[in-house]
Amino acid sequence: MKAMLSIAPGGPETLVLSEVAAPVARIGELLVDVRACAINYPDVLIIEDKYQMRPERPFAPGCEVAGVVSAVGPQVEGWAVGDRVVATIGHGGLAEQVAVPAAMAFPLPAERHFAGGAALLLTYATTIHALLDRGRLRSGETLLVLGAAGGVGLAVIGLGKAHGARVVAAVSSEAKADAARAAGADAVVVYPRAPFDKDQSKAVAALFKAAVGPGGADVIYDPVGGDYAEPALRAIAWEGRYLVVGFPAGIPKLPLNLTLLKSCDVCGVFWGAFAMRDPAANRAHVDTLFRLWAEGRIDPVVTERFALADAGRAIAKLGSRDAIGKLVVEIG
């Protein structure tokens, strides 16, 4: 079978489309003919050896897939050959076939396309866990979303609106602002590109404060980090919840005196560990996501589709932070 392999640490240009032996479904696994693999920020990091997990090379990146079950491993119940499936994995998705743990797989309804299915789990499951379990988001609260036009950000807008929040989207360009408005954001703020000096940081904080209003943001969803974190924290409400989700702009150092002054919480969000520790709660969240999708209250936004041979271009585009919505590699 064909797979896009990382054979040495480096950027997307180091990936090589190769012929490799097909995997097999071992105990507790499903063998899946991959139809679509969504690109996520871990794919940018893992090929550069900058992710917390470093698989042995050669390996295929790709941690979010949709496809069709072609074999069912021992001790797996409830699945049959021919079933449509979505799943999250550590890596291996940029290939024609992949073995996935049945515990991390979910049925894909017949009316849902594979590209949308591949774009659902990582962003939306992370976000529903973040907003409800960690952020305790309530209807009527104000939600500030950084990086709001990316795949994660658009998921936050959709789920925030589905749960009754006033959503303020923060983005870095007018094109991204248009995407955030189209996704349903109530207000949009366009911030400049970091890095910021002290005066620029204060100016960005003033932008955030003006956008969220005098009461501040009850919940802040930050999948960006870097120099954007402190200005956002300065716009938080009394007893607000700041959700730490990712760091493509760098790992920030927050002044903790701000947490005292606002009596606010800074909450880490590690969806993968949550899903492993409490699979029943995660499965309930995923069931909710499929229900909201069926009701038309959320809809994964796939903006570009790539062939397997062009997967490196998809990873490069995501790494440049220019992508809007989800990028998906279609296979087979």
Residue 188 and residue 87 share a domain: no
Ranges in the chain, pLDDT < 50 = none
CA distance 180 to 202: 24
The identity of residue 234, as a single letter, is: R
Q: What is the pTM of this model?
A: 0.92
Query: Does any domain span residue 278?
Result: no
DSSP codes joined into one string, 4-55:
EEE-SSSSGGGEEEEE-PPP---TTEEEEEEEEEEE-HHHHHHTTT-SS--P
Residue 58 and residue 14 share a domain: yes
Residue 245 and residue 161 share a domain: yes
Residue 135 and residue 266 share a domain: yes
Residue 113 and residue 46 share a domain: yes
- Rounded to the nearest 5°, which phi and psi values hold at 69? -70, 125
* Residue 188 domain boundaries: 122-272
- pLDDT at position 321: 81
CA distance 169 to 154: 9
Query: Does any domain span residue 292?
Result: no
If one counts the domains in the chain, the total is 2
Measured distance between the N- and C-terminal CA atoms of the chain, rounded to whole angstroms = 11
- pLDDT at position 322: 81
Q: What is the pLDDT of residues 215-260, one digit of tens each?
A: 999 999 999 999 999 999 999 999 999 999 999 889 999 999 999 9
- Rounded to the nearest 5°, which phi and psi values hold at 326? -100, 145
- CATH no. for residue 80? 3.90.180.10
On whether the CB atoms of residues 116 and 299 are closer than 8 A, the answer is yes
- Rounded to the nearest 5°, which phi and psi values hold at 36? -155, 145
Q: Pairing mode, if any, of strands 15-19 and 187-190?
A: unpaired
Cβ count within 10 A of residue 238: 11
- pLDDT at position 137: 98
Residue 320 and residue 268 share a domain: no
Query: Does any domain span residue 104?
Result: yes
Residue 111 and residue 6 share a domain: yes
For residue 307 the two structure tokens come to 């062939």
Helices and strands (H, E) in the chain, number of each type = 11, 15
- CATH no. for residue 268? 3.40.50.720
DSSP codes joined into one string, 126-151:
HHHIIIIIIS---TT-EEEESSTTBH
Query: Does any domain span residue 311?
Result: yes
- pLDDT at position 252: 95
Q: What is the pLDDT of residues 185-219, one digit of tens each?
A: 999 999 999 999 999 999 999 999 999 999 999 99
- pLDDT at position 59: 97
Residue 267 and residue 128 share a domain: yes
Of the three residues 224, 257, 272, the one that is the final residue of a domain is 272
Residue 190 and residue 54 share a domain: no
Query: Does any domain span residue 285?
Result: no
Query: Does any domain span residue 141?
Result: yes
